[in-house]
Amino acid sequence: MAHAVVIGSGAGASVAAMVLAESHWDVTILEKGPNYFTNLTEALPTTLFSNDELKHDRHFAKADPDEEPRVYRSSSTDPEPYTGLVQSLPQTVGGGTVHWDAKTPRYWDIDFSKRSMLGPQPGASVIDWPATYQEMAPYYEEIETLIGVAGDVDALPAEPTLAHAPRTGPLPMPGGPPMYASLVAAGGCTALGFHPFQVPMAINSRNYDGRPACNDCGFCSGYGCPIVARVGALAPLRRALVAGAELRPMSTVTDIHVSGRRARAVTYLDEGGNPHRQSADLVVLGAGAIESARLALVADLPDPHRVAGHFVMFHWFTDASGIFLSERLHAHRGRALTHDMDDFADPDFPGAAAAAKVAGLPYLRGGTVELGGSEFPLDEAAVYQELLGLVAPDKPFGSAFKQLMRASLLRDRLCGITLVGEDLPYYSNVVDLDPSLRDWRGVPVPRITYGPGTHEITAQAFYMPKLRAILQAAGADVVTVISELPSDRFPISSGSVPDTEHVMGGMRMGVDPRASVTDGTGRHHHLDNLVVSDGSLFPTSGGHNPTLTIMAMALRNARLWP
Ligand SMILES: Cc1cc2nc3c(=O)[nH]c(=O)nc-3n(C[C@H](O)[C@H](O)[C@H](O)COP(=O)(O)OP(=O)(O)OC[C@H]3O[C@@H](n4cnc5c(N)ncnc54)[C@H](O)[C@@H]3O)c2cc1C
């Protein structure tokens, strides 16, 4: 039996492992992180998660920045590179989908055919995907059924997704209970003539596939689900294991051995740092966008046109927060949020074309707007403790602290909304290897150089006031707007390091080997038996949360392999 080694067990890798194992490949899955589940072959795996808010900031899921830092620069001339956590996705069995909040919108037709439908953008390398939306629609439907997406298709706005290839039936479950804060923000959208809707989410709203309905505990985004109402990549992983795949957690691949046009084996380190060599007839690189590019560079995979690591994309997020003094919104309960608004994802949004023209751009695109959400209790407490520590360093807690927690401006009275803006693929946005820094295993750490272009700066400036207007129309007493893009190039910023957790590109698909790393199925242009299966394949970033598309593309590609 031919042997496939799958590197990673996240969104893209698990789908590839499932297809290969069910096609009678002997599959070994090498996953860097620990396994927080037992009996993964059961419909309802046993999880070691509780309401793990105390673990949130203790590197429970993400890398310890002292052991495995990354380096970030806003440009190649950035005088002060940052070293620490940069776009770190959880490193566990199941990858990023163990701690995600599972919003699962589909991409639009223009996302797959951007170059054909919208044309080029100056300075960016906008290319079409290898499949159109119509070709992707059946794969979307299969993944929605596999991971259990809840929502009402009829309530979605008449986006290109529905107009061009409607589902053949309803989503597997109705949507979960709407959150009040999401409804309040949606009310602000409606008052301004926009079109909010309940966003499909891969969280059970009723018993599905042997797993229970979400109990709205509130610790969703960033937390492992204690009742496994949210399953993500564990669903395809389960099928892979049932079909005979072997999962080896705490196994970090550090090298891929190549001769001629073939990958022959990988080296991985076990928990104790002991090296092992695993031979392979097929190597599937699914370590997530940054780590896949890093491995390709560490292993020195053939790259005659120096494309590997380039065109990395993160989405630009712009957050607006409204404080409602007269009522409690309790947005910290329930799912992360329940509603979205897609008007800003449409390049035909009124005024966008004119704003683009002024900036010398052919078009302008924002992205979806997530409606509702606030701080978790411990995060709120940390802010108050820090504030009080400034005025009374000896009394950061005490009655003032309790009063602030009871008033709860940042948790119970806050409604946050986030614009998930499309960032275009720029060659200068790149993952390479830091020339001097190595992680505790001795492997060079990834260095990420990422900054916005004219498109992103113009789009953010155009949409930012509209976010403020939504919250004002919703009745907020105080509104702030901040961006998660590097501060030196943007009007306002919440930090200097990108941390959007949407990580795409670096090993992108394409027909032209001079401008892409893999062909249209994720197969390496210069290696016949090395394929990529994760977010690194994205040629463009779209204006929506990427993971449903990562999984649907992985499914399509794996079905087209040998
Ligand atoms: C808090 C949070 C909320 C999110 N919410 C959403 C959301 O609502 N909707 C959405 O679409 N997306 C969301 N995301 C993003 C989502 O998690 C990612 O898009 C997705 O997981 C990326 O899939 P991937 O296959 O590219 O990589 P991953 O899922 O990150 O999988 C990569 C795997 O490879 C492993 N690995 C890395 N290096 C090695 C190595 N050298 N050897 C072996 N294994 C290795 C990693 O440990 C990991 O398990 C969220 C993420 C977070 C953290």
Question: Predicted confidence band at 485 (pLDDT cuts at 50, 70, 90)?
Answer: low
287 close to ligand 1 (CB < 6 Angstrom): yes
Judging by DSSP bridges, how do beta strands 414-421 and 252-259 pair with one another?
unpaired
Point out the least confidently predicted range of 162-171, 175-184, 415-424.
162-171
Question: pLDDT by residue (tens digit) across 452-463?
Answer: 899 999 999 999
| pLDDT of 57 higher than 60 | yes
Query: How many A from CA of 275 to the centre of ligand 1?
Result: 25
Give the closest residue (by CA) to ligand 1 atom 13: 100
Does 491 score more than 70 pLDDT?
A: no
Tokens of 525: 């242009």
Of the two residues 167 and 249, the one the predictor is more confident about is 249
Using the atom order of ligand 1, give the atom closest to the CA of residue 90: 53
Question: pLDDT band at residue 296, thresholds of 50, 70 and 90?
Answer: very high
- Whole-model pTM: value is 0.97
Ligand 1 pocket check for 95: Cβ under 6 Å: yes
Report the pLDDT averaged over residues 118-136: 96
- CB of 221 closer than 6 A to ligand 1? yes
pLDDT tens by residue, 303-349: 999 999 999 999 999 999 999 999 999 998 889 999 999 999 999 99
Stretch 538-548: mean pLDDT? 98
283 CA distance to ligand 1 middle (Å) = 19
Residue 490 has pLDDT above 60, yes or no: no
Can you tell me the distance from the alpha carbon of 147 to that of 143, in angstroms, rounded to the nearest whole number?
A: 6
Report pLDDT for 300: 98
Give pLDDT, residue 50.
Answer: 73
Ligand 1 in reach of 8 Cβ (< 6 A): yes
**Rounded alpha-carbon distances, angstroms, from residue 386 to 378, 392, 395:** 12, 10, 11
DSSP at 393: T
How sure is the predictor about 155, in pLDDT bands with cuts at 50, 70 and 90?
confident
Q: Of 156-170, 192-206, 452-466, where does mean pLDDT reach its minimum? A: 156-170
The token duo for 552 is: 């649907």
- Indicate if the pLDDT at residue 215 is higher than 90: yes
For a ligand 1 pocket test, name from 14, 28, 30, 32 the mutation site with the most ligand atoms within 8 angstroms of its C-beta. Answer: 32
Mean predicted confidence (pLDDT) in 431-441: 97
Q: Which long-range contacts (CB under 8 A, 24 or more apart) does 461-465 make?
A: 461/491, 462/351, 462/352, 462/355, 462/364, 462/366, 463/318, 463/344, 463/366, 463/419, 463/421, 464/318, 464/320, 464/491, 464/492
Q: What is the mean pLDDT of the chain?
A: 93
Q: For residues 547 and 97, is the Cβ–Cβ distance under 8 A?
A: yes
Amino acid 493: pLDDT? 43
CB of 32 shorter than 6 A to ligand 1: yes
Flag whether pLDDT at 151 surpasses 90.
Answer: yes
Residue 494 banded pLDDT, cuts 50, 70, 90: very low
- Each residue's pLDDT tens digit, 366-413: 999 999 999 988 889 999 998 888 777 777 788 999 999 999 999 999
Asked if residue 74 has its Cβ within 6 Å of ligand 1, the reply is no
146 pLDDT more than 50 = yes
String of DSSP letters for 186-226: HHHHHHTT--EEEPPBSS-SS-BTTBPPP---S--TTS--T
Strands 282-285 and 530-532: parallel
